[in-house]
């Protein structure tokens, strides 16, 4: 039983990180009907930005002593990487996707795959500031301590886990507020419903779509940093793996649906951990896709998606 609880805690923890990435996929899909394959790679870039920022401080600190960042520094790291990723998301949208918006959907999908290749393999080159293919150790931003222990220490919750949960939940709540309570959110929902009519009604469609990309990318950067806290390393291909799984989570929940993405991600995280715990970790990567195929066959619109009839 306590083994199950341990797995559950780990599953929910990795699930919250998938959820933050999945939200970006689901928002972009809701607005553009495009699988933004580059989203996971934007997350990877965000993590590297955080890594580089942390290294700056670490290098400046006194030598010989372990560097422990203060709260302000941690927040700055999050802020810098989220802001830079928002810019990156805007650039990708502006120069790669916007020119293709009226073209067949397949061209945009192929472009997205191309962008993903450029970013993830570009980061594997060892030229200039690019980091090369080797994984790097991410400096610990927080000192891990146990906050809660159950069943005589068999099941523990560390501060990193609790903070990750809290940050993820906070960001999700903020997003929910943004989508349903603000002018921008209403515009977003209108564009998602029918972007031509929205444009006719005076909604600045380009700006709304750009804004969606920026928010999604910033969330991805946050997720990347939380992931780095968990795994304490970064490598150029982390985005592809995490991104694909987050996308799977979004599809399971019903793509285009914000709460669906969160539920799908938590579910995926837990199922993955259960497989790792009770079967073998080598099967871990097959789980997400097997789960996806089963869901798509039984309920192609996802758990929370709406069935849409095709009109001709």
Partner 1 sequence: MGPPALRGVLPVLLACAGLAVLQLLLGGLPFFVTLASMVGINVILAVSLNVVNGMTGQFSIGHAGFMAVGAYAAARVSMLLNEVAISGLPEAVSNQVLYAVALLAGGVAAAACGFVVGLPSLRLRGDYLAIVTLGFGEIVRVVIQNTPPQTSPGFWAMGGSLGLTDIPSGRSSLFSTWLWAFLVVLVARRIAESSHGRSLTAIREDEVAAEAMGVNTTAYKVRAFVVSSFFAGVAGGLFAHFYETISPGSFTYVRSMEIVVMVVAGGLGSTTGSIVAAVFLTLLPEGLRSGFLALGGQAAAQVAEQVRMPIYGVLLVVLMLARPQGLFGTRELWHRRKAKGAAP
Indicate the residue among 31 and 141 with the shorter CB distance to partner 1: 31
Task: Considering only residues 251 through 270, tell me which ones interact with partner 1, judged by CB under 8 A.
Answer: 251
CB of 109 to partner 1, least distance (A): 7
SS (HEC) of the chain: CHHHHHHHHHHHHHHHHHHHHHHHHHHHHHHHCCCCCCHHHHHHHHHHHHHHHHHHHHHHCCCCCCCCCCHHHHHHHHHHHHHHHHHHHHHHHHHHHHHHCCCCHHHHHHHHHHHHHHHHHHCCCCCCCCCCCCCEECCCCCCCCEEEEECCCCEEEEHHHHHHHHHHHHHHHHHHHHHHHCHHHHHHHHHHHCHHHHHHCCCCHHHHHHHHHHHHHHHHHHHHHHHHHHHCEECCCHHHHHHHHHHHHHHHHCCCCHHHHHHHHHHHHHHHHHHHHHCCHHHHHHHHHHHHHHHHHHCCCCCCCCCCCCCC
**59, 62, 309, 312: residue in contact with partner 1 (rule CB under 8 A):** 312
Indicate the residue among 75 and 110 with the shorter CB distance to partner 1: 110
- Does residue 278 bind partner 1 (CB under 8 A)? no
**282, 306, 307, 309: residue in contact with partner 1 (rule CB under 8 A):** 282
Site string for partner 1, 117-156 (x = CB under 8 A): xxx-xx-xxxx-----------------------------
Task: Considering only residues 90 through 109, tell me which ones interact with partner 1, judged by CB under 8 A.
Answer: 96, 99-100, 103-109
**114, 170, 204, 259: residue in contact with partner 1 (rule CB under 8 A):** 114
CB of 127 to partner 1, least distance (A): 7
Indicate the residue among 86 and 275 with the shorter CB distance to partner 1: 275
- Does residue 274 bind partner 1 (CB under 8 A)? no
Site residues, partner 1 (CB under 8 A): 35, 96, 99-100, 103-111, 113-119, 121-122, 124-127, 240, 244, 247-248, 251, 280, 282-283, 285-286, 288-290, 292-293, 296-297, 300, 310, 312
């Amino acid at each position: 039983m306590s083994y199950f609880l341990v797995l559950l805690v780990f599953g929910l923890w990795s699930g919250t990180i998938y959820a933050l990435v999945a939200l970006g996929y689901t928002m972009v899909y809701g607005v553009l009907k495009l699988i933004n394959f580059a989203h996971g790679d934007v997350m990877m870039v965000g993590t590297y930005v955080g890594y580089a920022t942390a290294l700056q401080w670490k290098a400046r600190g006194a030598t010989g002593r372990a560097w422990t960042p203060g709260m302000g520094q941690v927040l700055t790291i999050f802020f810098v990487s989220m802001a830079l990723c928002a810019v990156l998301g805007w650039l990708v949208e502006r120069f790669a996707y916007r020119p293709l918006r009226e073209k067949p959907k397949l061209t945009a999908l192929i472009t997205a795959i191309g962008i993903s290749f450029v970013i993830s393999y570009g980061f594997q080159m060892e030229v200039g500031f690019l980091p090369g293919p080797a994984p790097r150790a991410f400096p610990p931003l927080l000192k891990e301590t146990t906050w809660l222990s159950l069943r005589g220490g068999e099941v523990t919750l560390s501060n990193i886990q609790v903070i990750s949960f809290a940050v993820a939940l906070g960001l999700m709540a903020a997003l929910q507020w943004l989508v349903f309570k603000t002018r921008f959110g209403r515009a977003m929902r209108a564009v998602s419903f029918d972007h031509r009519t929205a444009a006719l009604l005076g909604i600045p469609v380009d700006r709304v779509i750009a804004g969606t990309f920026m928010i999604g990318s910033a969330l991805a950067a946050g997720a990347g940093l939380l992931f780095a806290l968990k795994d304490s390393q970064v490598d150029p291909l982390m985005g592809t793996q995490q991104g694909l799984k987050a996308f799977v989570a979004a599809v399971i929940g019903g793509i285009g649906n914000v709460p669906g993405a969160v539920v799908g991600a938590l579910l995926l995280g837990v199922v993955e951990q259960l497989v790792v715990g009770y079967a073998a970790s080598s099967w871990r990567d097959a789980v997400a896709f097997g789960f996806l195929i089963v869901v798509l066959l039984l309920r192609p619109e996802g758990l929370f998606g709406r069935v849409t009839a095709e009109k001709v």
